[in-house]
Structure 1
Amino acid sequence: MSATIHRLGDKRPPSLDPMLALVAHDMNLVNKAILDRMQSDIPLIPELAGHLIAGGGKRMRPMLTLASAKLLGYPGARHHRLAAAVEFIHTATLLHDDVVDSSDLRRGRRTANIIWGNPASVLVGDFLFSRSFELMVEDGSLKVLKILSNASAVIAEGEVNQLTAVRRIDLSEERYLDIIGAKTAALFAAACRIAAVVAERTEADEAALDAYGRNLGIAFQLVDDALDYTSDAGTMGKDAGDDFREGKMTLPIILAYARADAEGRSFWQEAVLGRRISDADFAEAVARVQATRAVDDTLARARHYGQRAIDALGRFDGGAAKDAMIEAVEFAVARAY
């Protein structure tokens, strides 16, 4: 990716460390808000929410809110609670997703639905959504409320769209991009955009940060979907092949199916319908994905969207914040290598 020039010839692998260092003080305040607002007189709520919130995630989305505020030189404190709201939205969707997908692992740990059951996971997810809206209302900005509430609705639409696309071998690349644009990229975009609102910047600055977050989110999800065919549970935090066994039509399968011969198409049709889900079947799927260069081309698309994210920052002044945000894009793409 051309943005490597920003590291002035440094050959170290791209990392989130610059962003972590950039927002460390602010993130402590965000974490305090998260811990405070996930409390309840019902002990199961903080216990279950804490299992996921403390589960080792990088807090990528709230970090983007904080980094975007740094980029704009925002001196206030409103973004701390809003970053917490962003994390609550994300955590709530994860709780619901794991129920829908019947997932066993999240970030290498047993999922909440496996430990406490589906009803508790759904209801605590609802509680966290409610907490996020409390935080938005307390901020007092109707514009912020509109951005984050719209993102929440779009995420839900994306999840329903994905649910109706499961085991659909005819899913198009365009619809797949619509799905990940909604279920993943919408919150990345909103997390960045709200920083421009609280910093009282122009619509053009809002749109640029929205574009940065949206394109980063798409790149992030493309890499995640590629990793399902190149990685293992230790790397991914979920079981390798989960998407395959669940019949999810991610881009590697879409491309592999489009490029397959008659025998290959028959294999993919059976697999997507749930008739080829053994370890041997998954190994064959990996071989077929690799043979058609479907993973390589998925990652090439990720690099394309990553570059679009970097280009969106072009209007902003250079400095530590901009460099950290560029390197975060490079890190998101480099996870696959």
Structure 2
Amino acid sequence: MSDNVVPLKRTDGEERPTLQPILSLTATAMNSVNQVILKRMQSEIPLIPALAGHLISGGGKRMRPMLTLAGAEVVGYQGTRHHKLAAAVEFIHTATLLHDDVVDGSETRRGKSAANIVYGNPATVLVGDFLFSRAFELMVEDGSLKVLKILSSASAIIAQGEVDQLTAQRKIETSEERYLHIIGAKTAALFAAASRIAAVVAEKGEAEEQALDDYGRNLGVAFQLVDDALDYDADAAEMGKDRGDDFREGKMTLPVILAYARGDEEERRFWQDAIAGFRTEDEDLAHAVALIRKHDCVSATRERARHFAQRACGALSIFPDSAARRAMVEAAQFAVSRGY
């Protein structure tokens, strides 16, 4: 990493990184993106905008479209093509969330009832399909086959990652390597694509494209690592989801993989039973959290997240210092230090 890249801050002092710089950087463009989202989620079938709006207006961070907008700033793009593409990115993400909640049987999302609980599984799946279709309409309207290839490829990779996660569910033998492969597909692929397309619309070279791709990919891995750590380390109100969802669903996330590897024979038997679905009560979750704390697995997961966030920051070293680059660096710092 070159000397002019702001390094990751330690987060044990008073000053903590925030999303405010990147929110401020992208605020005006995000208003345009939100207008596209609002317009394109409409349908003559009232249930569609009602269900889509239930999630889209639910207070998400809009990280993925924000990366498209911030990437455009860092490469000096002056046009507006990226507004529709950022909306397409958000539609892809929202569609995957709707489908995920059905697959997982989730009861809450962003602090309120999940769409599948309010509207039922069939409607939730179909509206997810509708949003995917809207995303592809926006891509085609942009007219760039390269953008279409990047985002359509990411969509396929996300789906493969979700299937891979499903097949790894309740399998205690899942390795850290496989886990990282899963989150690289189901989460980081869209972060990478959202970032990369900014360089494409700005007609920059392969080096700039790859730098933004690397930034988004590493940020996405860091973001998911922290998400998975928080499932064992945060209050449900802070997370906006039920604490212990991953535990009850038998998902082999990194805190569990580490706790299992570091545990004694009795602890490993507990994890085998829990991941198989035989230990899912509140007291079992409390025991799981205690074991994860005992072996410092949340801190270890966050430390791995720091590694990927550092790589994300390093990828930006090819760009000159600017408010945009500093905002993107701080977004990576926030991803590691956040509590929600």
Q: What's the TM-score once normalised by structure 1's chain length?
A: 0.97
Q: Secondary structure at the residue paired with 1:163?
A: helix
Of 311, 329, 335 in structure 2, the residue corresponding to residue 332 of structure 1 is 335
Instruction: Give the CA deviation at 1:3.
Output: 1.8
* Paired letter, 2:205: T
Aligned to 1:303: 306
Indicate how the Cα distance of structure 1 residues 291 and 2 shifts in structure 2: closer, same or farther if over 3 A, else same.
Answer: farther
Instruction: Give the CA deviation at 1:232.
Output: 1.3
Are 1:238 and 2:203 matched, yes or no? no
How far apart in 1 are the matches of 2:90 and 2:324? 21
Are 1:274 and 2:277 matched, yes or no? yes
Aligned to 1:33: 36
Instruction: Give the CA deviation at 1:138.
Output: 0.3
Aligned to 1:193: 196
Q: Secondary structure at the residue paired with 1:201?
A: coil
Instruction: Give the CA deviation at 1:12.
Output: 2.8
Q: Secondary structure at the residue paired with 2:216?
A: helix
Aligned to 2:229: 226
How far apart in 1 are the matches of 2:276 and 2:116? 25
Of 204, 215, 220 in structure 2, the residue corresponding to residue 217 of structure 1 is 220
How far apart in 2 are the matches of 1:312 and 1:27? 24
Aligned identity (percent) is 69
Of 175, 182, 187 in structure 1, the residue corresponding to residue 185 of structure 2 is 182
Aligned to 1:3: 7
Of 239, 264, 267 in structure 1, the residue corresponding to residue 267 of structure 2 is 264
How far apart in 2 are the matches of 1:222 and 1:291? 19
How far apart in 2 are the matches of 1:124 and 1:75? 34
Aligned to 2:104: 101
Report if aligned partners of 2:184, 2:220 keep a CA contact under 8 Å in 1: yes
Instruction: Give the CA deviation at 1:294.
Output: 1.4
Instruction: Give the CA deviation at 1:292.
Output: 1.2
Indicate how the Cα distance of structure 1 residues 162 and 5 shifts in structure 2: closer, same or farther if over 3 A, else same.
Answer: closer
**Mapping of 1:71-110 within 5 angstroms?**
71-110=74-113
Q: Secondary structure at the residue paired with 1:318?
A: coil
Deviation sequence 1:196-216 (CA, Å, 0-9, x none): 000000101100100000000
Are 1:55 and 2:55 matched, yes or no? no
Indicate how the Cα distance of structure 1 residues 34 and 253 shifts in structure 2: closer, same or farther if over 3 A, else same.
Answer: same
Report if aligned partners of 1:256, 1:294 keep a CA contact under 8 Å in 2: yes
Report if aligned partners of 1:15, 1:328 keep a CA contact under 8 Å in 2: yes
Q: Secondary structure at the residue paired with 2:55?
A: helix
Instruction: Give the CA deviation at 1:290.
Output: 1.0
Of 149, 153, 165 in structure 1, the residue corresponding to residue 152 of structure 2 is 149
Instruction: Give the CA deviation at 1:58.
Output: 1.0
Aligned to 2:24: 21
* Paired letter, 1:161: D
How far apart in 2 are the matches of 1:317 and 1:297? 33
How far apart in 2 are the matches of 1:152 and 1:139? 17
**Mapping of 1:156-175 within 5 angstroms?**
156-175=159-178
How far apart in 2 are the matches of 1:273 and 1:2? 44
Alignment RMSD:
1.5
Report if aligned partners of 1:96, 1:125 keep a CA contact under 8 Å in 2: yes
Q: What's the TM-score once normalised by structure 2's chain length?
A: 0.96
How far apart in 1 are the matches of 2:106 and 2:250? 13
Instruction: Give the CA deviation at 1:134.
Output: 0.2
Pairs aligned (count): 334
* Paired letter, 2:232: Y
Q: Secondary structure at the residue paired with 2:7?
A: helix
How far apart in 2 are the matches of 1:89 and 1:229? 28
Report if aligned partners of 1:226, 1:336 keep a CA contact under 8 Å in 2: no
Report if aligned partners of 2:159, 2:186 keep a CA contact under 8 Å in 1: yes
Q: Tell me, which stretches of 5 or more residues in structure 1 are unaligned?
A: none
How far apart in 2 are the matches of 1:4 and 1:69? 22
Instruction: Give the CA deviation at 1:4.
Output: 4.8
Q: Secondary structure at the residue paired with 1:40?
A: coil
Deviation sequence 1:221-268 (CA, Å, 0-9, x none): 000000011111111111111100100000000111011111001000
Report if aligned partners of 1:84, 1:132 keep a CA contact under 8 Å in 2: yes
Are 1:64 and 2:60 matched, yes or no? no
